Amino acid sequence: MLALSVRLVRADTLDQVLQRMDQAAQKFRSLSANIHKTVYTDSITNTDVEDGSFKMMKSGKDKFVLLAEFTGQDAYKLRLAGTQAEMYYPKAKTVQVYDTRKVTKSVDQYLFVGFGTRTAELRKTYTVTLGGPETIGGVKTTRIDLTPNSGEATKLFNKIQLWIPDGDGSPIQEKIISGKTGKDYKLFQYSDRKIGTISDPPLPASDFDLNLPAGVMRRVMK
């Protein structure tokens, strides 16, 4: 009972977590990490798991460039820059190009909402609430919940959950909950995070190239 009481006293408040996120956002320049992705679809009781890696870098005010690569049987690369998303499928030798201002089929554009985003911006789009303390992989964290207020986001998901480690300002885990019953989800677990700050040199532009081989077909998706 005493240990529980001590943990409750030390539990971070929502303001404390958001303050750390703001401090991290002010200094944030880039991020690279390994990623473990779990997708659960409740209607067919199906779980898909993917492993990969990604890099992202701030390319201006509220703008990012990102390259993620997932391995396995259905390997693919995802590149996000400006208002364009490119999905490269090596087996099909095809790149699908999307205008992210129009895309409604994927929530991946919301994947990195916890990195380099000031809390004032979060509050414009989401109702931010405290989920409470949780231990993830032996790391003590505080979960915060982001519920979209309105607009396009409400068509894509019901809620985003972020797990922020104690003493840190960036998540080690993110869950995007969707579906009519709120039981579908995408869970992203980050490891080996390397966060670059504004005092560090930027990552080279070549780090975000798809590096396509000859003969790849590009398709602009409507």
Domain boundaries, the chain: 13-220
pLDDT tens readout for residues 142-163: 999 999 887 777 778 899 999 9
The pLDDT, as a whole number, for residue 6 is: 39
Sequential pLDDT tens for the chain (222 residues): 434 433 444 678 999 999 999 999 999 999 999 999 999 999 999 999 999 999 999 876 667 899 999 998 889 999 998 888 899 999 999 999 988 776 544 555 576 788 888 889 889 889 999 999 999 999 999 999 999 887 777 778 899 999 999 999 999 999 999 988 899 999 999 999 999 999 999 999 999 999 999 999 999 987
Which residue type does 28 have?
F
Class of domain 13-220: mainly beta
pLDDT of res. 106? 53
Residue whose entry in the numeric block shows the structure tokens 């750390």: 20
Distance CA 156, CA 178 (A): 7
| pLDDT recorded at residue 100 | 79
**pLDDT, tens digit (0-9, with 9 covering 90-100), for 56-96:** 998 766 678 999 999 988 899 999 988 888 999 999 999 99
